C-alpha cells in the first residue's frame, strides 16, 4: 500500500496482560491514496520498535507499507480514538512481518501531495466558526465537526 500520511498519534504504552510488569507500546496513523479512500494503520510491539517506527516518518510523508495484516475494525471502539474512515478494515503492522518505507511524495507520486489538504469528513457535516458563534446556545453539549483554518501560532 502506498499513501500519504494524513494523521498520526503519539506513542502510548499499556500494561501487557500476558507479561505482568511489562509494557506494550502502540501508535497509529492514517494514510490516504485517493480523494475517497483512506485507512487507519495501527502498530503494537516493543518500545524500541514502536518508537523507531514512529520517528521514521511524519504527517505529509509518503509511505509504502509491505505485508500488513488486514483486520475488520470494531467501529464503536476503533473510531473513538482514530479518524472515521470509509473502510470497514484497518491495517495492523507487525514487527516480524511488516515493513514501512518512506519516500518523497515527489519521487512516488505528486498527486498524493494534494490529498493532504482534503477534508476527511462529508462537506455537509461541518459547522463554521460563525455558525457556532451565532447558534452557540442551541449547540451546547453537542459534539461538532468544525472546519477552520489556523491564522497564526504564537507563544
Domain ranges of the chain: 2-115
pLDDT > 90? residue 35: no
Contacts of 88 (CB under 8 A, 6+ apart): 72, 73, 75
Top pLDDT among 54 and 124 is at 54
Contacts of 145 (CB under 8 A, 6+ apart): 121, 125, 126, 127
Tell the residue number behind the cell numbers 496482560, with chain if given.
17
Instruction: Give residue 27's pLDDT.
Output: 94
Chain segment 47-60, per-residue pLDDT in tens? 999 999 999 999 98
What number is the average pLDDT over the span 65-84? 80
Note whether 48 and 36 are within 8 A (CB). no
pLDDT > 80? residue 110: no
Instruction: Give residue 91's pLDDT.
Output: 95
Q: Taking the CB of residue 64, how many other CB atoms lie within 10 A of it? A: 14
Instruction: Give residue 98's pLDDT.
Output: 92
Q: What angle do CA 78, 79, 82 make, to 5 degrees?
A: 90
Note whether 90 and 120 are within 8 A (CB). no
C-alpha cell at 38: 483512506
Tell me which CATH code domain 2-115 carries.
Answer: 2.40.50.140
User: What ranges make up the beta strands (E) of 98-152?
Assistant: 99-103
pLDDT > 70? residue 108: no
What number is the average pLDDT over the span 24-39? 91
For 83, the 3-state DSSP assignment is coil
Q: Beta strand 38-45 with 89-93: parallel, antiparallel or unpaired?
A: parallel
Lowest-pLDDT range of 41-50, 59-68, 80-89: 80-89
Instruction: Give residue 106's pLDDT.
Output: 57
- Measured distance CA(106)–CA(132) in Å, rounded: 39
Instruction: Give residue 31's pLDDT.
Output: 94
Q: Is the Cα dihedral 82, 85, 90, 91 positive or negative?
A: negative
User: What's the pLDDT band for 115 if we cut at 50, 70, 90?
Assistant: confident
What number is the average pLDDT over the span 27-52? 92
Amino acid at each position: 500500500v502506498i499513501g500519504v500520511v494524513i494523521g498520526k498519534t503519539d506513542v502510548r504504552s499499556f500494561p501487557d496482560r500476558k507479561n505482568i510488569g511489562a509494557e506494550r507500546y502502540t501508535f497509529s496513523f492514517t494514510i490516504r491514496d485517493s480523494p475517497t479512500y483512506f485507512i487507519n494503520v495501527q502498530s503494537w510491539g516493543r518500545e524500541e520498535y514502536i518508537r523507531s517506527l514512529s520517528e521514521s516518518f511524519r504527517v505529509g510523508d509518503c509511505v509504502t507499507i509491505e505485508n500488513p495484516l488486514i483486520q475488520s475494525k470494531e467501529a464503536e471502539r476503533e473510531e473513538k480514538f482514530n479518524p472515521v474512515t470509509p473502510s470497514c478494515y484497518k491495517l495492523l503492522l507487525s514487527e516480524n512481518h511488516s515493513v514501512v518505507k518512506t519516500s518523497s511524495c515527489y519521487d512516488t507520486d505528486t498527486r498524493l501531495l494534494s490529498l493532504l489538504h482534503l477534508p476527511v469528513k462529508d462537506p455537509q457535516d461541518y459547522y463554521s466558526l460563525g455558525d457556532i458563534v451565532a447558534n452557540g446556545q442551541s449547540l451546547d453539549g453537542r459534539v461538532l465537526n468544525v472546519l477552520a483554518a489556523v491564522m497564526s501560532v504564537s507563544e
